[in-house]
Amino acid sequence: MNATSIISTWTELIQQFFPVFTVPGAQIFIRLITGWILCTTRRTVTGIIPFADPLSLRAHDAYHRFFPDARWSMTKLWQTVTIILVRTFCGNTIITLALVRAISFGLILEGKTLQFSRNDIALL
């Protein structure tokens, strides 16, 4: 696997999270996640910033403000993570979860079943 392939795969993976954030939030998110991966020191926001933004294109506090102040959807975030994990690890099998009462993807599901397969997620 060459460097171009790795970068393309990383970009494709991270871009799946863009709908979770606003446009400026998505840009900060991609920098923080990339910095977190590349960081060789303690993985705090302050430790990640030199790897996330080595040219100091954004103010230092923009990265610190991302977590408490950014506009993003926790429901959409977990939905995206679930879809990525199921598509990656499910193979051709079907995973079925029976939900007695749970809050999932922003919906209250009672007595329903969520069925996950590699290609789709369906509420039965």
Say what percent of the chain tops pLDDT 70. 69
Contact 100, 112 (CB under 8 A): no
Per-residue model confidence as pLDDT tens digits over 48-86? 999 999 999 999 899 999 888 888 887 788 888 877 877
SS3 18: helix
SS3 string, 56-117, reads: CCCCHHHHHHHHHHCCECHHHHHHHHHHHHHHHHCCCCCEEEEEEEEEECCEEEEEEEEEEC
Contact 80, 17 (CB under 8 A): yes
**CA gap 107, 91 in Å, rounded:** 26
Per-residue model confidence as pLDDT tens digits over 11-31? 888 888 988 888 888 899 999
Contact 114, 97 (CB under 8 A): yes
Domain segments of the chain: what residues? Answer: 3-69, 74-123
pLDDT at 99: 44
